[in-house]
Amino acid sequence: PITPGELLCLGSSLAFSGLFYYLYRKKARVMARIQEAPKLQVDNDLPALVSAADGRCLPYVALEGIVLPAKAALTSHYHEGLQGVIQKLLLKEHRLIWNSLARSW
């Protein structure tokens, strides 16, 4: 004799397991695509390669080359001889619209 509560727990457990397995497989496919990404060198041929690609965009690539800082390289306080640069970030804000029903932006 199985109670309805036990059936509910079993069903919800199976549903959550299926959902989490689906999300795991989806992320595993993305990771496989990233690991199989072609390695390109930063040189004079790179702009021509990008402009020849579909939509002028390369989905997953690994760029290898020397990066020069715009002003001065950052030096690590914890590891001697380790230097780095900051990537220029572009932030695009979407226009917010006031929802009077929910009273939120």
Q: Which segments of 1-105 are extended strands (E)?
A: 39-41, 62-64, 74-75, 83-84
pLDDT tens for 19-76 read: 999 999 999 999 998 888 888 888 888 889 888 888 888 877 888 888 788 888 889 8
Domain-located, residue 89: no
Number of structural domains in the chain = 1
Q: Does pLDDT of 89 surpass 70?
A: no
Question: 63: domain range?
Answer: 4-84
14 band by pLDDT with thresholds 50, 70 and 90:
very high
Residue 75 within a domain? yes
Residue 30 domain-assigned (yes or no): yes
Domain membership flag for residue 94: no
The verdict on residue 64 lying in a domain is: yes
Is the pLDDT higher at 2 or at 97? 2
This prediction's pTM = 0.48
Residue 73 lies in a domain: yes
